[in-house]
Amino acid sequence: MNPRRDIPAHGTASRYRGDPRKKRWTACHCEKCLTAFRRQRKARELRVAQGLGARHALEPVLNHIHLLVESGWTLHGIEKASGVDRRGLYNIRHRLQRTVNHSTAHRLLALQPSATPRLVNAVGARRRVQALVAIGWSMSSLAPEVGLSHTALEDIANGRRVRVTTGTHEAIRAAYRSFSKKPGPSGWVRAFAARQGWHGPLAWDDIDDPAATPEALEPYTPIGPNSRDSMRIPEIRHLLAFGESPASIARQMGGSEKYIRDLITQNGLSRAA
């Protein structure tokens, strides 16, 4: 059985003390935990003797986290770079504690805005998230795939983030490559995206181009078994031979991309090309 994530590991002062208030774990007085507790106590006594206080003030740490986020850091990035877990960050950001452990404060204050990964325009990330929602993928299902919180992904989709880190951009691109190939399971999510005016993957010629505009696609009617458009097949074969994509062919011929793809598949044109 896997250990619970909120139970401190052996060899820590927290595991030695236990959790008398919430009783989430019992105290452990093994040699490793005892050693860690003694070291923490000696370090605290030294700080008190030096006039530094037993713990670090909350406000400087909280203000520094706000500065990091404003400069482009994500909470996931802060967690990964500092080694401070999500619960610890949450407690600090929501003022659920009055002071901060010196070790935690040191690790957070060591992160500098100047060390933030390179930022890029968020337009491509925003359109990709919107496109996936438009075909039925909820942000709750997408957030773990890109390593962001649901709130952070909503901020990107709704345009509240003008820039994102290159890591976030690439993570969203990877999820988009995977999820855009099949429709999502939620009709409610698709309806929500339609109300927001969001466009699906097929609406974009260059989804990363800030100047690009979405193309309104014609309603698609499936091709019947005896209703193939034989007049278009030679032209489609010709365009495929010159390397044109189904999306490009659909635009040139004034039809739905799904309709063109059906013609290609049913007539073996992709193999012939």
Domain boundaries along the sequence of the chain: 13-115, 119-203, 233-272
The confidence band for 205, taking pLDDT boundaries of 50, 70 and 90, is confident
Residue 25, pLDDT > 90, answer no
Q: What does the DSSP assignment read for 50-85?
A: TTS-SSEEHHHHHHHHHHHHHTT--HHHHHHHH---
Dig out the tokens for 210 from the structure.
């800030």
Residue 72, pLDDT > 90, answer no
Taking residues 180-201, report their average pLDDT: 87
Residue 273, pLDDT > 60, answer no
Question: What is the share, in percent, of the chain residues with pLDDT greater than 70?
Answer: 82
The confidence band for 43, taking pLDDT boundaries of 50, 70 and 90, is confident
Residues 6+ apart with CB under 8 A from 150: 139, 140, 143
Reported pTM:
0.44
pLDDT for 176 equals 93
Residue range 119-203 in CATH 1.20.120? no
Taking residues 184-207, report their average pLDDT: 87
Calculate the alpha carbon distances from 113 to 69, 72, 91, 237 in Å: 9, 8, 22, 54
